[in-house]
Amino acid sequence: MQAFEKLGAFYLGKRYETGSGVTDDLVMYDSKDLTTHAVCVGMTGSGKTGLCLDLLEEAAIDGIPAIAIDPKGDIANLMLTFPDLRAEDFEPWVSAGEAARAGRTVAEQAEAVAETWRKGLVEWGQDGDRIRRMRQTTDFAIYTPGSSAGRPISLLRSLRAPSAALAGDADALRERVMSTVSGVLTLLGIEPDPVRSREHILLSTIIDRTWREGRDIEMAELIRLIQKPPLERIGVIDLEAFYPAAERFGLAMIINNLLASPGFAAWLDGDPLDVSRLLWTEAGKPRISILSIAHLSETERMFFVTLLLDEIVSWVRTQPGSGSLRALLYMDEVFGFFPPVANPPSKTPMLTLLKQARAFGLGVVLATQNPVDLDYKGLSNAGTWFLGRLQTERDKMRVLDGLESVSGGAGGFDRARVDSILSALPGRVFLLHNVHEDGPVLMQTRWALSYLRGPITREEIKRLVASEPASPGTVAPSPVAASKGQPANARPLVPADVVERFATPIRSAAGSIRYRPALLGKARLHFVDAKRSIDEWRDVTLLGTAGSKGEDPWASASRLDRELALSEVPSGDADFEEVAADATRASSYKTWQKQLSDRLYQAEVLTLWNCRMLRQVSEPGEEERDFRIRLAQHAREQRDEAIDKLRQKYASKLQTIEQKLRTAQDRVSREQSQYEQQKLQAAISLGASVLGAVFGRKLASAANVGRATTAARGVGRATRERDDIGRAQESLASLSEQKAGIEKQVEAEVAELQSGFDTSALELEPIEIRARKTDTATAPPVLVWLPFAVGADGLPAPLY
């Protein structure tokens, strides 16, 4: 098991034989088989959660990142991993009620649980070092959308435009628009009918047009676009006839009230909904992101899951094709999100992933205890099924129907046999049906590395993340220092020859808006390196300080990673901070433009990363983090290819030697049987002659002599049979030695593969290429006013 642990083989359990129980044969599952997706079905108490956690643990050990949607709180148990297996580690998570039921104190119960876990791991060939290796290989994080209990996720700050790859696919873009709008309307309590709903049609038209222009939609902008849409007709009907302005204002107010609600503030703050950041850390380390949604209402869950799936679809389409597993999407209890008849907003992107994600290396794993609520036509795309104990006969029939459709019809599926197996499954035993293997296998799941203590509550999630560092902000820092009580005035007068713009607020402010002056600088840089065939243009946008002419406004400038939405007029009533006199003179901007050009030439470099070990160089603009992620996937693909070659190399040899071993074993068994029969026959014959000599006086003496002669011949045959056993055993021993020799060769090559594809400590060398000064093009800086919300404490918070 240890030899193949880093080579894409997931240790899920051991084979199980009906009537005799668990065997010593390990069930090793190829990780790349998950690219054809998996379904896990089992009632409460079947061990479904344990199996799915085993799967995620194996992915973590192998460096495979995952997004795990957790509607009940069970998946958060992945955070309860204690490499030292000490009682004091378990104690905070042992409930007083559990201890009382066992007649113990909490400390005593913790010791009992720790001992149970120590023994359980040992029985399944594991230990604390395996837990430690898992935590060292992969980062674990809990996100709580709509709550600050875990890491919050910002969802409604903007509706981000999809990737260029998705925007270029008309059908894919249409599906994305429809599911996004359906999710938003579901959250608002409006029936999301794409054909009959005016709200759906209007929002879809606005969002589709804006996304086709490649622009994100801030929620504040969406409210304005609802009131004043950039169109005159919907289809062939005049806009006012289709959806009058007064009624559109009502829709805008519903969205505005939602955004202004104090309870909805948690949806606006936190990490952005970025799939890449959910799957890898800033340093490129793989991450298991647990998205806990147990605290959300049904409509909020649907809204969040829909937006998340949409983002994953967009991300998938930006990835290069791969036959190896790149990442996992796991959803525990998919009930209600992928039904057979209804069409909730989450269904379309889920179906898209099941049909298309495999080509890009994303595996989808869905689990449920309600099999009748699954769309089995959609699940016909799943190549692996884990089937545990089921609640009712109806559940079993539904699963059999789905499994039969996956198997290509009754001709290749023994329904009666599978029915018989499913009817007698104990807990923790599953029928594993994998289309990549010859047939189904019964298995008992291994002992989980994580402490399975039941659902984790929001308060407990707070305890889990209390020691984690705060999530990084998502808004660029202001280039002007904030200070409480800084004087605010009316809008300053700026001459007409000074270009002045106002950044559009990303959301409504609870209090007043205060504008702060800054310089917006833009430039285009050209990086050329003929030796490496580099010819790269890069656009740079900076926010600098609008100070005096004698200062360098770009000395502490902040870089913007996306365009600011700008307007020629400010937003409603607002206060303005003072602006330096030099910022109102056109001559200052020529000086600042030259300073921007000089600073960019001195400071800006195009950094490439060279990996000697894998002979790879990063692409222009590719961050070190992303390059490491790509290297890990490249190494994984090479590893899987090498494993396939290794199997092909030794498959025929092992198959031949296994056949010879079976033949030799059969011969030994046959010879032993014949020997035992000859011994028995010789004993019977000898016994008869002795009895005849003693008791058979009436028998002829010739007959007694004949019996003795027969007995003597029987002893001789038995001796020859015994010699045959020896020769058969020698042949068996010789074949066993040959097999052991092949196994040693395989182990040696496996060890070489492990060292060759271990990307945990890759050394990267930076290659720096400077921009060509003659090609550097800078635009005249612009005086830009940045909006801030002024709270009750007087401290401004950025709204851009």
Transcribe 273-297 into DSSP letters.
--HHHHHB-TT--BEEEEEE-TTS-
Integer Rg of the chain from CA? 35
pLDDT digits (tens, 9 = 90+) for 240-288: 999 999 999 999 998 888 877 777 777 777 888 889 999 999 989 999 9
Kind plus residue range of the DSSP H or E element containing 248? helix 245-260
Instruction: With beta carbons less than 8 A apart as the criterion, state whether 488 and 760 touch.
Output: no
Cα distances from 514 to residues 16, 473, 575, 590, 787, in angstroms, run 69, 21, 5, 28, 6
Q: Spell out the residues 6+ positions from residue 518 whose beta carbon is closer than 8 angstroms to its own.
A: 478, 479, 480, 543, 544, 545, 546, 783, 784, 785, 786
- pTM, full prediction: 0.76
* Token couple for 768: 């720096």
Percent of all residues in the chain with a pLDDT value above 90, rounded to a whole number: 40
- Report residues of the chain scoring pLDDT below 70: 1-6, 156-158, 408-412, 467-488, 507-511, 674-722, 755, 760, 791-795
CA distance 102 to 96: 10
- The pLDDT value given to residue 794: 64
Residue indicated by tokens 């430039």:
523
CA distance 167 to 314: 9
CA distance 524 to 429: 62
Helix, coil or strand: residue 525: strand
* Token couple for 660: 């010879």
- The pLDDT value given to residue 475: 39
* Token couple for 655: 């198959």
**C-alpha 154: how far from its chain's center?**
19
**C-alpha 44: how far from its chain's center?**
24
Can you say whether residue 361 is alpha, beta or left, with left for phi > 0 and alpha for psi between -120 and 50 degrees?
A: left
- The pLDDT value given to residue 711: 47
Count helices and strands in the chain by DSSP H and E runs: 20, 29
Q: Residue 366: phi, psi to the nearest 5?
A: -115, 135
Cα distances from 352 to residues 153, 178, 312, 346, in angstroms, run 24, 13, 10, 10
Number of neighbouring beta carbons within 10 Å of residue 345:
26
Closest CA to 287 of 463, 447, 450, 143: 143
Mean of all residue pLDDT scores within the chain: 84
Instruction: With beta carbons less than 8 A apart as the criterion, state whether 416 and 374 touch.
Output: no
Q: Residue 750: phi, psi to the nearest 5?
A: -65, -45
pLDDT digits (tens, 9 = 90+) for 446-489: 999 999 999 999 999 999 887 554 444 333 444 444 444 455 57
Q: What is the DSSP string of 539-577?
A: EEEEEE----TTS-TTTT-EE-SSPPPEESS--SSEEE-
- Burial profile 370-394: b = 16 or more Cβ within 10 angstroms, e = fewer: bbbbbbbebbebbbbbbbbbbbeee
